[in-house]
Chain A
Amino acid sequence: MPSQIPIQEGLFTWPSEEPRLLGSRCCGCGEVSFPVQKSCPACTGDETEAIPLAREGTLWTWTIQRFPPPAPPFIGDRESFEPFGVGYVELAEGVRVESRLTVNDPAQLEIGMKMELVVEPFDRDADGNERMLFAFRPAAAA
């Protein structure tokens, strides 16, 4: 029976009410990177552990992708293409994660604003499963 599956296993916790991105923390130097990798890009160490990353962060930079990216690898047809936001969101673990943004209106985006993680439907695979992708959206006002 078709279900919701992550666009790639191991990118984020799923299924989950409050999904978290999964990064790796170096067991030697403590540096955190995303997505999970077995070795450490900072200290060359070969032992890391997977950790869930903060769900909220601040927008470090952003842009709007206004033209359809070359496909493949991009999934999406040129005719129905809608510009989308992309940014780097700085998390408490000391890492800036690149992500699609849920908004594509420059007026709603500002460096330094609070963002929060969401997981949304992206496309369907051949079996009819809904493939899920992470994104960041402007955090709800406190």
Chain B
Amino acid sequence: MDVAIIGIGLHPFGRHEGVSAMEMGVVAANRALADAGIRWADVQHACAGSLEVLQPDTMNKFMGLTGIPFTNLFNGCATGGNLMLSAANAILAGAGDVAIAIGMDKHPRGAFSVGDDLAGLGLGQWYGEAGMAVNPQFFSMKTMRYMHDHGISEDCLHRVAMKAFENGARNPDAWRRKALSYEEIAESPLVCDPLRKYHFCSPSEGAAAMVLCRADQAARYTTNPIYIRADVFRTRLYGSFEVMHPSVPANARPSPSVQASQAAYEAAGIGPEDLDVAQVQDTEVGHEIMHMAECGFCKDGEQEAWVKAGETKIGGRLPINTDGGLLANGEPVGASGLRQIHEVCLQLRGEAGDRQVPGKPRVGFTHVYGFPGVSCATVLSR
């Protein structure tokens, strides 16, 4: 049995003063239900996730107290991917025919804080006191080594950022809707070398939701179901270079993104060459570049030529982060993975407006990555 996505909903990402994360979650959920043409009372299983909302399932009282099982989960930046996986697994396990996945968040401005107690992250307090529990440091250090090993230039970093903001300018739901010039990006201040201000995404606010059902029942609800061909969640292997790790072994092993994407292609019975559109975790431009290789789109180092030739732009060989990605939308952690899936569904339905990938895309891919070394990859198709 397969599972289909029959309804999608988004509360646009950005800054929404006076609106709580949970209120955004309710908006996204209701939009997904309306898109599927059903009511909350028809939902038999719910999964929700958030970094900032203590217990997302309390939104139940705003949706309707129907007694259904409602799971809260959180897996860092990979939460969105895992939310859809858990909702799909509930259907596959026979817990219900219709399920919903809802992600929501609302972060303070500025860099993500790990909070004041590092014991909850399995780290010594000294690590935070000394200023090393900082995500951008890791992203920058992994990028620095990758550029050294595989000949990626600073020019490539700037071009990836330009593409993100170009796509954001074409997306009415994006947070950052202004294209930036090459010079604006290249001359923006260094944050953590070699990465600059406009190379990074920012924490933001927003919500996204997906309504899923048994694929053999999808026609009851919609004429344009999107099928989940694979949805894989992996955690780090020993030896993978990961965010906030005081040491890593010199014998490197593949990242969880490699594991998750390879398993997803295998489960879907396709290869990365069969993809028509892709969304990958672009916390910053270095990771969009590295994830292109980790997800199998190209070999290490080939990104330089791909990006220069515009192969990842809308209309290129494999358009990546067509809605502007994290760079143009920011990252509400609990919702970000579901935004990617929302975007791929729009692209596969042919409803992506000014940013529609030409040629009627049939197969899409999403990928999230986060602390402490977790990744989800999905393959979706019409």
Contacts and interface: CB of A to CB of B under 8 A. Distances in A.
Nearest to B194: A63
A42 B249 contact: yes
B91 to A, nearest CB: 33
B262 to A, nearest CB: 22
B359 interface: no
Given A70-B114, A86-B137, A63 B247 contact: no
B67 interface: no
Contacts of B181: none
Contacts of B192: 63-66
Given A96-B250, A98-B246, A73 B128 contact: yes
Contacts of B39: none
A69 B131 contact: yes
Interface residues of B, number: 41
A19 interface: no
B193 interface: yes
A16 to B, nearest CB: 18
A111 interface: yes
B130 interface: yes
B124 A35 contact: yes
B64 to A, nearest CB: 38
Contact of A7 (B115, B126, B193): B126
Nearest to B252: A96
B245 interface: yes
Nearest to A34: B247
Contacts of B238: 31, 41-42
11 contacts: A23-B247, A63-B137, A63-B194, A65-B131, A66-B193, A67-B191, A69-B131, A69-B134, A73-B128, A74-B134, A95-B247
Q: Which 4 residue pairs of A and B lie closest in terms of their CB atoms, listed nearest first? A: A73-B128, A70-B113, A34-B247, A61-B145
Interface of B: 110-118, 124-126, 128-134, 137, 140-142, 144-145, 148, 189-194, 238-239, 245-251
